[in-house]
Amino acid sequence: MTARARALWRRWFFLPALPWLGYAALVAAVDRLRWDILLAAVLATTAACCGERARRFYVGAIPALTLFVLYDALRYLWPVSVSASRVLGCELRDVELAFFGVSVHGAIVTPNEWLAGLAHPALDLLCAVPYGSYLGIMAAQYTYLCVKKPEAARIFTRLALGTHVLGFATYLLLPAAPPWYVATHGCAVDLAAQGSPAALTRVDAWLGYGYFASLYGHGAVVFGALPSLHVTYPLYGLIATFRTASAPSRALQIAYALMMPFAAVYLGHHYVLDVVLGLAYVAIVYGLFLAVGEASARQRAFDWPVADLSGSQSTSPVPRWSATKRLHTKSASLRRFR
């Protein structure tokens, strides 16, 4: 494999494996050897060194791998960067009441509390679908785009990485308790509290299996309600394929994108404020993505094929300023020759 890696990456053959194996070694040093981290590192290294096609897949997956490492690193950054005094407990609920409070029998309640009074098994199951399948949907979307629409796959991963970087930074700078925590524990902040599936507990009881308890009971961050990153997941594929997707695919993705925010609030995982900030982060990252793309397009517009003094036409575009400098240099050389 080393010989193949040298052929693909030349003298930098060791770089593709370095970040992932390095993180696995760091986790083993500060915590324990974890099979999930080691497996991801081995798969990434193997993909980078197994051939040109696998190498291209690896390069495209770097944002997704980076996102995986950043999310996992939160469990180690959280204890050393967040204190109970910094966590927004009932303060976030008070802001929610001020902006989105609902009047019920003369009392102002949050949308979560209002929807809790409308709980129904059909709504529970409907909301459980996006909350229980988003990981599989994201993986399937990304795999399909990598094979069929590589440019859309790049947009997908860049949106995901940019949005999550903003989200993770907010988790650390402005930690906040989710609605289910306030409803269960009150305003007192306990950093040792475990995650909870909240209203999805009812679905686990109906299924007779603790699927959502295992999925949401051991998350890396309990006080990461602000923003809601769940509501951003359907938007990556929708934005990346909006112009090229078929009408049924586009309609299904729009329905998925509308269902997720409702589920986030109905299930007690997020406030409306969390949802709004999550959507705003996607808009910010996509806006930056468009701005960078437009700037690159403007730069390419100034590129033009330069005619060589010998009379032949160069086939590779050269920036105008570079071409002008080259022509001045050649003119000076001709004057010296004369």
**pLDDT at residue 300, as a whole number:** 60
Nearest Cα to Cα of residue 177 among 109, 268, 88, 274: 88
pLDDT over 70 for what percent of the chain?
A: 80
**pLDDT at residue 258, as a whole number:** 96
Tokens of 111: 């949308």
Q: Are residues 72 and 87 in the same domain?
A: no
Choosing from 12, 46, 81, the residue where a domain stops is 81
- Residue 297 covered by a domain: no
**pLDDT at residue 147, as a whole number:** 85
**pLDDT at residue 63, as a whole number:** 83
Q: Are residues 56 and 87 in the same domain?
A: no
**Residue ranges of the chain whose pLDDT lies below 50:** 304-324, 327, 330, 334-338
User: In total, how many domains does the chain have?
Assistant: 3
**pLDDT at residue 275, as a whole number:** 97
**pLDDT at residue 10, as a whole number:** 61
Give the C-alpha separation, 201 to 208, whole Å: 10
**pLDDT at residue 5, as a whole number:** 52
- Residue 102 covered by a domain: yes
Phi, psi of 303 (to 5 degrees): -85, 140
Contacts by residues 186-192 (CB-CB < 8 Å, ≥ 24 positions apart): 186/89, 186/90, 187/89, 187/90, 188/89, 189/84, 189/87, 189/89, 189/223, 190/84, 191/79, 191/82, 191/83, 191/84, 191/87, 191/222, 191/223
- Residue 295 covered by a domain: no
**pLDDT at residue 318, as a whole number:** 46
Give the C-alpha separation, 253 to 236, whole Å: 10
Tens-place pLDDT, residues 307-325? 444 444 444 444 444 444 5
- Residue 296 covered by a domain: no
- Residue 70 covered by a domain: yes
Q: Are residues 215 and 274 in the same domain?
A: yes
Q: Are residues 60 and 109 in the same domain?
A: no
Q: Are residues 57 and 111 in the same domain?
A: no
Phi, psi of 118 (to 5 degrees): -105, 15
Tens-place pLDDT, residues 250-261? 999 999 999 999
Q: Are residues 36 and 93 in the same domain?
A: no
Helix (H, G, I), strand (E, B) or coil at 278: helix
Q: Are residues 194 and 331 in the same domain?
A: no
Tens-place pLDDT, residues 61-98? 788 888 888 888 888 888 888 888 899 989 999 999 99
| Cβ neighbours around 256 below 10 Å, total | 19
Phi, psi of 187 (to 5 degrees): -85, -15
Q: Are residues 72 and 201 in the same domain?
A: no
**pLDDT at residue 122, as a whole number:** 94
For residue 312, give its domain range: 303-337
Q: Are residues 100 and 30 in the same domain?
A: no
Q: Are residues 252 and 282 in the same domain?
A: yes
Q: Are residues 178 and 154 in the same domain?
A: yes
Residue with tokens 């970040």: 19
Give the C-alpha separation, 225 to 211, whole Å: 21
Task: Report if pTM > 0.95.
Answer: no
- Residue 321 covered by a domain: yes
- Residue 166 covered by a domain: yes
Inter-axis angle of helices 121-148 and 150-173, to 10 degrees? 130
Q: Are residues 190 and 152 in the same domain?
A: yes
